[in-house]
Structure 1
């Protein structure tokens, strides 16, 4: 019998276990606030059929705050149970943590049953952490008839409250959450806030550079009650983008890194990566790589890409067409092509931190220029608006698109706005030329977007921009440039659908949520169609 991942059984376990699934886990976050030893909550991630990662941080003494390097070693017990009372413990262990890992605790729990909901917690000095709810994936051969995921990116503490996380936690119908990067921001106070105004000040006050800085910033973000609620509600599948280190980063540096005043790039990168692995429930490969593949029965697999660690430096003009430029690095591209060519599920989801669909505005399509294109120095796809996206790496994008199997869906963040795109083989001749995949781009949780940057009212100047985008890019089926919020991806054997939701006011902790738009793609179509209501 086919199974729906995260439906009645998980809801039943959640409701019976904590009474929290339908109300955003407020009791879990309240417990964290009232339990100083576990003030950063709990989290889980990267579910496999027999395993899941669980995470927490312990504060064994008042001085042992994130980034301090202070505090004694602490022996922490973890437990995974089949029931909310922890009477039927199925796995447990003890880990020692301390200042060398910022008192974080992360266990890759093995030997679990597939497609099963579990409760987990940690214990230290006779005190239990808040309990979290997680789930393992089904086996690759299991028939699965439904998968529902929250999809988010770009959560800037200074720009507002994380109400999007609260509304996702309150749904109670998600198997898990896909976070596409910019989980934290590196800027100092006021450097990138809400229309220039700081809603919540960053700690530390300066731009983060050292290991202590990155640990402190991660620790601050993990105190957010809405973030804690969503982490405690379900497993997350996460990948970094640039702000986990510095804006517009590439393999050898970043736009927001000045070696003359901030020192060499390598130590800063190493510090940010160490803090990330300490603080996030993410599984790494044998060489520390973060790109990975997760499988959900016969229905879907999810490939998470690292588009920062190995890429060539951003450039402009005709140089974006250089076949030697790389977004992924050769090893990751070889792995990706091999993964995509293997026997897969009905839907191939790709967690892709920057937009893969081409985007041109106010430019003459390059195909009209014929042999004059190179003489005039026009890149193959027309002048790119943002060469930090795949538009800056056109040759490698072409190689990737040629390797895509049917029913590929790109899940994208980074640009703080909402897009529904067909991914064309040749943008200039679309829709005569085919679409090779579809792409769903989710808005920012809080980070500034078009109306914020322009300091104008929403749905004013952005309407003109949206019209220009659609006119110059016929593969863009939907675009909204103003709202903050999140996406909910619903996968069924015959179709995949993304619902976009917006929050009313990122500056308010009690912001409400409303449905914005929906697009779907039928199995085998490689194109999007408008849908006029969200999944129930």
Structure 2
């Protein structure tokens, strides 16, 4: 492999490239002089032969990334380099390519000083498992909502311990279903709990107010990466990330004026959300280990194929929607967009072309739960559902999609979501629905990861959701702290022999709350 500006030749077990670069002096390792990795490592969007790798440096430098199939790095199989510069807040994100399928991959990141190339940091090692080429068993976890409602990192309580619970399941990947940060929620040093004890947050300057500047949005991601549980998970398990509203501000829609009472309380200087969205999207893409699409640089929706058994369809229910309002249009048009025509057409094409046994639709918002847009006025619809009755507004788009899935013979779709801050299992039954032209399917809800717990929300009968399980706070309790243990994630296991999918809803203590095993439809 020839050395150019993107790739470098790796020589020897140490992975140092001095020989190939013609450098005669040994690399120096003075701790005070060398650059350092500031927020751990991440991997993501892993396939059978490729994966994204992420790191952040504490100063401008060159990041050298090498990979091997053994933890000892006895044989380095390949590598790339990328420059960590102020323009991206010191973050680097590269694609490792040509990886073997179904294999544990170890990657090592070290940093080279730009002014003194002989000064180099020691390597830090992460790992992930590539998607299999054969029908071996696959498992993964999902949830959403991190550091919301003012509940940050209380190190005296172990920090964001649910991430350690997820890691104990040794999933092939973790699906973060949105609200990866809470850019709009200040985190205070102390919060008094109902039992009189104090929740003591670790705080930084960037989390002291709602994020508006690019630095403040970036600071929210850096804050979460101070948590040792999340750092440990990131180093061992690849993440598939999507976004929802709190990466920008609560319940936003594109072009929304910042005139709601909630916006006024947050004292936003910008007259509309678009300016916030531009900065927020840049920070999101800088800090999430996801693919970059040069044809549409801000794109979040994408398909991740994880072997013959599972395709994951990552949706973006935020960027293309119409205005949040009463959501009762009788004809489909810009005001009732939710996914939007382009994303909807993409999803239909990809579902039809998928040959995976299970088509997992990763939605950042649930289909059949009523979510209010403006809680100060109790006005408007934030999600799809707008109340019982025939399909109206955004439900027209979902009805079209469900009708298409049935007509095209797409089998074994399962919807995974978060957003509502409790956990539940919904079975959508056309025999009990107002709109009936679809095949039955399941939707599983899980969250929050580390935020206030709420719920449950009202079910909308348009698509006939039947509640099979729910766990939420007792009636009348809202914004329940993580100290109460009502933090949730889901675990999905697909058996390589039977191809059955078992979905288990879990809490922060890794307790199995409820599960169901689904048989794949044939034909």
TM-score by length of 2: 0.75
In 2, distance between residues paired with 1:99 and 1:146?
42
Alpha-carbon deviation of 1:491?
1.7
Say yes or no: does 1:175 pair with 2:166: no
Deviations for 1:187-229, whole angstroms, at most 9, x for unmatched residues? 2425898979864246421110111111111111111111111
Q: Paired residue for 1:341?
A: 352
Give 1:243 shift: 0.6
Question: Helix, strand or coil for the counterpart of 2:324?
Answer: coil
Separation in structure 2 between the aligned mates of residue 390 and residue 470 of structure 1, nearest angstrom: 10
Alpha-carbon distance in 1 for matches of 2:58, 2:216: 17
**Distance in 1 separating the partners of 2:379 and 2:470:** 16
Counterpart of 2:62 in structure 1 is: 75
Q: Identify the match of residue 124 of structure 2 among 127, 130, 134.
A: 130
2:399 is matched with: 398
The corresponding residue for 2:300 is 290
The number of residue pairs the alignment matches comes to: 429
The separation in 1 between residues aligned to 2:162 and 2:502, in whole angstroms, is: 19
Pairing 1:47-446 to 2, within 5 Å after superposition:
47-60=46-59, 73-124=60-111, 125-138=119-132, 142-156=133-147, 158-160=150-152, 161-172=159-170, 174-190=171-187, 199-200=200-201, 201=203, 203-204=205-206, 205-253=208-256, 257=263, 261-285=269-293, 286-288=295-297, 289-316=299-326, 318-319=328-329, 321-324=330-333, 325-357=336-368, 387-392=381-386, 393-404=394-405, 405-425=410-430, 427-428=432-433, 435-446=439-450
Instruction: State the superposition RMSD in angstroms.
Output: 3.1
Instruction: Compute the displacement of 1:50 (Å).
Output: 1.5
C-alpha distance 103-261 of structure 1, shift in aligned 2 (>3 A):
closer
Match of 2:451 among 447, 450, 470: 447
Per-residue CA distance 1:480-514 (angstroms, 9 max, x = gap): 113212111112344212111112xxxxxxxx432
User: Judging changes above 3 Å, is the alpha-carbon distance between structure 1 residues 273 and 147 closer, same or farther for their aligned structure 2 residues?
Assistant: same
Structure 2 CA distance, aligned partners of 1:54 and 1:276? 15
SS at 1:226's partner residue? Answer: helix
- Residue number among 468, 483, 488 corresponding to 1:485 in the alignment: 488
| Superimposed CA distance per residue, residues 85-140 of structure 1 (whole angstroms, 9 cap, x where no aligned partner) | 222111112221211110111111111112221111211242234311112223xx
Q: CA deviation at 1:241?
A: 0.9
Cα distance, 1:296 vs structure 2: 2.3
Structure 1 stretch displaced more, 38-47 or 470-479: 470-479
Retained in 1: the 8 A contact 2:252–2:273? no
Scaled by the length of structure 1, what TM-score is found?
0.73
Q: CA deviation at 1:407?
A: 0.8
Tell whether the 8 Å contact from 1:169 to 1:230 is kept in structure 2 after alignment. Answer: yes
Q: Is 2:505–2:512's contact at 8 Å kept on the other side of the alignment?
A: yes
Cα contact 2:35–2:61 (8 A) shared by 1: no
Q: Contact between 2:110 and 2:124, CA under 8 Å: does it hold in 1?
A: no
Residues in 1 aligned to 2:354 and 2:273: alpha-carbon distance in whole angstroms: 40
CA distance in 2, matches of 1:252, 1:235: 33
Query: How far apart are the structure 1 equivalents of 2:179 and 2:383?
Result: 15
SS in 2 for 1:403: helix
Compare 347-356 and 489-498 and name the one that shifted more: 489-498
Q: Which residue of 1 aligns with 2:467?
A: 476
How far residue 524 of structure 1 moved from its aligned partner, in angstroms, is 2.3
Contact 2:46 2:238 survives alignment (8 Å): yes
Answer whether contact 2:151 2:187 (CA < 8 A) is retained.
no
What does residue 22 of structure 1 align with? none
Using the alignment, how far apart are the partners of 1:151 and 1:133 within structure 2?
19
Q: 1:499 aligns with which of 501, 504, 510?
A: 504
Q: C-alpha deviations, 1:288-341, integer Å up to 9, x for none?
A: 21211111222111110011111111112634x542211111111110111112
- Per-residue deviation, 1:427: 4.5
Residues 260 and 474 (structure 1 numbering): CA distance in 2 closer, same or farther, change over 3 Å?
closer
Greater helix share, structure number: 1
Within 2, Cα distance between the matches of 1:224 and 1:270? 27
Shift of 1:170: 2.5
Q: Given that residues 181 and 240 in structure 1 are in contact (C-alpha distance below 8 angstroms), is that contact kept between their aligned partners in structure 2?
A: yes
* Pairing partner for 1:514 from 502, 511, 515: 511
